[in-house]
Amino acid sequence: MIRQTVKQQNIRIIPLGGLGEVGRNMTLVEYGRDILIIDIGFRMPEENMPGIDFIIPNISYLAGKEKNIVGVVFTHGHYDHIGAVPYLIEKLGNPPLFASGLTKAITIKRQDDFPYQPKLNITVMKNCDRVRLGCFEIEFFKQNHNIADNMGLVIKTPVGNLVHTSDFKFDDNPVNDLPTDFKKLKTIGENGVLLLMADSTGAETEGHSLSEKNIQENLEEIFKKSEGRIIAATFGSLINRIQQLISLAEKYGRKVAVDGYSMRTNVEICKELGYIKAQKGTLIPAKELSHYPDNKALLICTGAQGEGQAVLMRIANKEHKFIELKKGDAVIFSSSVIPGNERTVQVLKDELYRQGVNVYHYKMMDIHAGGHAQREELKQMHEIMKPKFFLPIHGQYSMLFNHAKLAGEMGMPEKNIAVIENGQILNVNKKEISVEKKPVISNYVMVDGLGVGDVGEVVLRDRQVLSKDGMFVIVAIVDRNTGKIRNSPDIISRGFVYLRESKQLLAETRKKVVEIVNKSAGTGGAVNWVYVKDNIRNKIGDFLYAKTERRPMILPVVIEV
Amino acid sequence: MIRQTVKQQNIRIIPLGGLGEVGRNMTLVEYGRDILIIDIGFRMPEENMPGIDFIIPNISYLAGKEKNIVGVVFTHGHYDHIGAVPYLIEKLGNPPLFASGLTKAITIKRQDDFPYQPKLNITVMKNCDRVRLGCFEIEFFKQNHNIADNMGLVIKTPVGNLVHTSDFKFDDNPVNDLPTDFKKLKTIGENGVLLLMADSTGAETEGHSLSEKNIQENLEEIFKKSEGRIIAATFGSLINRIQQLISLAEKYGRKVAVDGYSMRTNVEICKELGYIKAQKGTLIPAKELSHYPDNKALLICTGAQGEGQAVLMRIANKEHKFIELKKGDAVIFSSSVIPGNERTVQVLKDELYRQGVNVYHYKMMDIHAGGHAQREELKQMHEIMKPKFFLPIHGQYSMLFNHAKLAGEMGMPEKNIAVIENGQILNVNKKEISVEKKPVISNYVMVDGLGVGDVGEVVLRDRQVLSKDGMFVIVAIVDRNTGKIRNSPDIISRGFVYLRESKQLLAETRKKVVEIVNKSAGTGGAVNWVYVKDNIRNKIGDFLYAKTERRPMILPVVIEV
């Protein structure tokens, strides 16, 4: 019982995702019984997870504690912060949600794809708005990022103030947004910050992130010199970039079509709420783009990562309904390349060059700026907040580590800095921080089609094996009376060898199967079919490896008739 | 017959690999009947080629022309220039080979892994050595790269001189090598160059490549400040970097162990030939490294790309026999990250940080230089050679394109520049160049285990499908007399759902199969089993998709007994 009392004095911070990875952000703040949730995001799968759509946070820890959830606060509308809502919100007992106007709109729009979901209960929070949830009072404050209506959080707790930066960058010249309000940030810092939780994504990158103003100037160069159509590909969620492109189009007298499902949806929402501004008549449907001269046309589309079914790829592959490339077109890649996509982007670029297009990408000139504070901005944030304790969040372990190191270099004692991972519990009180010995469950929950969490290690490993050397099914029908194989065994193989050209290999394999079965089974008495099947699997496996140096998955089926 | 005579006046350049890709370099130079081959390399597979080991050039064009091959000249000992020799040399009729000393040694050493190969007949060519092969006279000239004994080629032909740069960079301060011999290059240029074939790998990168001298200085900083062990990972083929590390170890009193099969092999060869210089006692076996104090130990190893079985990964995963990481160790990634490997390298870096190691990589400081000329060096090469015609080689299409553009910007007329792809035939005579309409076969030949070229589109596509949603085999035994299914159909599925938790789905599927078969087959008369199987495939496919939104590969087996 004493332990319980001691615990009551601590705030417990429990990251369920977003630490040691980029994406899947979800953090719990717990005091006594009250649990506050910050963000419910997903992430994209790793390369060794074929067929998986997304990975979402594991909320086992919250099972049975649904009634203790005082609310969910969202920082911004990117899917790595809101994307797991449709999968998890019902299991969380559909708690009250709090978000900025744009974040709310995107979150609600997304629910359309999940018709059986409960209606979301989202309260809009504006800059400096406050809400009391259980023992917490949360104040939302504007932070610049590459999507509008991004909010940092001041969480007042019985122990002290926690500050969560959200994803952020400092920008004196943002698009369609106010510059960073350093005065407000300073006030937050002056009110005392017990614990700072700050975005680490840019902690390994020297310097200051580029201002969107620079990007705009460089994009304008391309508009100035392009005499053909301009096709600008970027992320569907990069609302600010889309706005820049629309403004430039208006300045240079081009009509704008937006193509790509996610991008069109976002643009519609943002226009409605005023986060994207376009003059009447600027935006036209993609199919009308060809009604205008080449130098009056701009297409903004998805596909800057070389994604197979995105618009730019369909255009490059001549599979797009309305747009066909021609010499003189300019294609702009206005996005960075997400690690892992380099090869596909290169292949796409090559294809564009082959078609005589002028290609512009971020390695040639600054036509993309990241949305994350780099080292100089992070230093500034630490200086402004002067927190007692620091927890780096959002990023690969190397980013968290280097963010922690930066805090140390700025004079924070090592014992006041916590580099923790998903599932680890950070205890915070006025005097000290400590990590609890026992972490909570935080492993991946994979989404594949309608299945949430049903694909585990076994299924994934099978997929990996199948992809490497294919599979080899052997069906043997055994006569119950004689114990001998009837006819010749059937073989079904895919992804192993080209069967039509491997007749001899198959014939030899069949012969070996007959030998194995007849030897094991033909001696009279009860037959151990498990043993026979193991025998087929091992012996045929070795035989095929000796012949091919490949190891297909071998699946013997023995049926007695 | 007239056409034949006209052709006789042209040199034909036929790239079988290396254009529009990085790696798999192989080019034919043909005049009359004589065919000269430059390099026989391989490349690594793409991400969508699971299970494939390498891709090698397609030599169909040479079938029946083996006796016309006057010889093969190799530029250097990297596998993208010599790696396909064991697979192709016999099919080429084992022609005479010409290479520098180090290239010869590496090529011969590799043959050890292929015991049934014919003995190679390689003549060593030194700087300025010449050899006459058919109507060609080839002169080898030294070029700097990141492996020693790299050779450019001047090919004197009846039409004029061709210059092949090999992979190259200009370096005034190389390691264990002479600086670029601009005087020699100028002489080559002054003798007249009809066609320049130049490395394009760096054609999209501004500026001048770093000198190895800078790299050495930065590496030295790490040696100066490291008080623990140093573990330096790089490519096994990066002989020059290995030499730098050995020299620094000697300067700072560290013993050196080299680990990783390919790296150890290369170091042995190079030491024997004098391309790596180490004092007696500097190099020790990896298992003895622990006999020395931490600040006296350097391990040079493979694994800088996060490759699963390479040394650094085994160390990070605590699976290495002799080396276990500890706080204070320094790990240096002295290599760039090959596109496509970013994720695995990040995961490896994270793991190293977790173990408290000091990590140094090329984004933090210049501890790696590429081996390829960047735009300033390429301009210099064009200025020196002043070729009449230009063919960009070695690189993705975007690199070839931008290299061609650079030549145009330097004043070469567009009609004198040829951006061609593998299989296209460039005709060159004194007056003009032109591309033949009909290309030769140059598509991928994939190596998978012992199979060379037997894995094609069908097998690869099956592997891709299998990896995405797994497979689902349905075995139905049908009674020949009644036309009805005997017992319940067998189902074997892998990579689709976790079977133990999907009993109901399987039961429903079995029921559906029984219905389909009995309906089609139970009516008496001849049964169209192909139709029944298609029916199972389609209906069960739709059923499973409706239940799971996954599309496993469905393989029905119907057996009459």
User: pLDDT of B288-317, one tens digit each?
Assistant: 999 999 999 999 999 999 888 899 999 999
DSSP state of A369: -
Q: Among residues A45, A74, A134, which one has the least CA distance to residue A455?
A: A45
Tell if the CB–CB gap between B553 and A494 is shorter than 8 Å: yes
pLDDT at B524: 60
Which whole number is the average pLDDT over B390-400?
Answer: 97
Q: Which residues in chain B are contacts of A471 at CB distance < 8 A?
A: 466, 471, 494
pLDDT at B212: 83
In the block, tokens 């593998």 appear at B422
| CB within 8 Å of A190: residues ≥ 6 apart | none
- Give the tokens for residue A468: 């490497």
Which whole number is the average pLDDT over A211-235?
Answer: 93
Per-residue three-class SS string for B106-163: HHHHHHCCCCCCCCCCEEECCCCCEEEECCEEEEEEECCCCCCCCEEEEEECCCCEEE
The nearest CA of chain B is from the CA of A97 a distance in Å of 30
Provide the pLDDT confidence category of residue B9 given band limits of 50, 70 and 90.
Answer: confident
The least confident of A194-208, A283-297, A450-464 is A450-464
Residue A398, sorted as left (phi over 0), alpha (psi -120 to 50) or beta, turns out to be: alpha
For residue A332, pLDDT beyond 60: yes
Query: With contact defined as beta carbons under 8 Å apart, do B198 and B229 qualify?
Result: no
Tell if the CB–CB gap between B339 and A339 is shorter than 8 Å: no
- Could you give the count of Cα atoms lying within 13 Å of B335 in the half-sphere of its Cβ? 25
The nearest CA of chain A is from the CA of B469 a distance in Å of 6
Which whole number is the average pLDDT over A245-272?
Answer: 95
- Give the tokens for residue B142: 């030294």
DSSP state of B272: H
Tell if the CB–CB gap between B494 and A471 is shorter than 8 Å: yes
| Phi (first) and psi of residue B483, to 5 degrees | 75, 10
Q: Among residues A247, A100, A122, A258, which one has the least CA distance to residue A166?
A: A100
Tell if the CB–CB gap between B350 and A397 is shorter than 8 Å: yes
The least confident of A176-190, A219-233, B358-372 is B358-372
The string of pLDDT tens digits covering residues B441-492 is 999 999 999 888 888 888 999 999 999 999 999 999 988 888 888 888 999 9
Per-residue three-class SS string for B64-97: CCHHHEEEEECCCCCHHHHCCHHHHCCCCCCCCE
Q: Which residues in chain A are contacts of B339 at CB distance < 8 A?
A: 342-343, 346
Chain A residue with minimum CA distance to B460: A495
The string of pLDDT tens digits covering residues B359-379 is 998 777 777 888 899 999 999
B46, B466, B468 ranked by CB distance to A343: nearest: B46
Query: With contact defined as beta carbons under 8 Å apart, do B418 and B390 qualify?
Result: yes
pLDDT at A9: 85
pLDDT at A389: 98
Cβ-Cβ contacts under 8 Å between A and B: the total is: 189
Tell if the CB–CB gap between B350 and A458 is shorter than 8 Å: no
The sign of the dihedral angle between the CA atoms of B116, B238, B185, B189 is: positive
Question: How buried is residue A374: exposed, middle or buried, by Cβ count under 10 Å (0-12/13-18/19+)?
Answer: buried
Alpha-carbon distances of B127 from A95, A200, B5, B153, rounded to whole Å: 76, 52, 36, 10
Q: Among residues B383, B401, B384, which one has the least CA distance to residue B392?
A: B401
Give the pTM. Answer: 0.90
* Euclidean distance between CA atoms A355 and A342, whole angstroms: 20
Strand positions, DSSP E, B338-489: 358-360, 389-393, 426-428, 433-435, 445-448, 451-452, 471-478
Provide the pLDDT confidence category of residue A4 given band limits of 50, 70 and 90.
Answer: very low
pLDDT at B55: 96
Residues facing residue B283 across a β-bridge: B256
* Euclidean distance between CA atoms B552 and B561, whole angstroms: 28
Tell if the CB–CB gap between A359 and B398 is shorter than 8 Å: yes
Provide the pLDDT confidence category of residue B529 given band limits of 50, 70 and 90.
Answer: confident
B372 is catalytic: yes
Question: How buried is residue A311: exposed, middle or buried, by Cβ count under 10 Å (0-12/13-18/19+)?
Answer: buried
A340, A397, A498 ranked by CB distance to B353: nearest: A397
Query: With contact defined as beta carbons under 8 Å apart, do B37 and B56 qualify?
Result: no
* Euclidean distance between CA atoms A77 and B21, whole angstroms: 39
Q: Which residues in chain B are contacts of A478 at CB distance < 8 A?
A: none
- Give the tokens for residue A92: 């969380």
The nearest CA of chain B is from the CA of A494 a distance in Å of 6
Q: Which residues in chain B are contacts of A20 at CB distance < 8 A?
A: 350
Tell if the CB–CB gap between A477 and B451 is shorter than 8 Å: no
* Euclidean distance between CA atoms A177 and A150, whole angstroms: 10
ipTM exceeds 0.90: no
The nearest CA of chain A is from the CA of B83 a distance in Å of 19
The sign of the dihedral angle between the CA atoms of B103, B108, B112, B117 is: positive
B342, B450, B496 ranked by CB distance to A549: nearest: B450
The least confident of A63-72, A224-233, A366-375, B421-430 is A366-375
Chain B residue with minimum CA distance to A502: B454
Q: Among residues B356, B250, B341, B265, which one has the least CA distance to residue B303?
A: B341
- Could you give the count of Cα atoms lying within 13 Å of A246 in the half-sphere of its Cβ? 24
Which whole number is the average pLDDT over B425-433?
Answer: 97
Chain A residue with minimum CA distance to B348: A398
* Euclidean distance between CA atoms A368 and A212, whole angstroms: 8
Average pLDDT, chain B: 92
Chain A residue with minimum CA distance to B558: A490
pLDDT at B3: 46
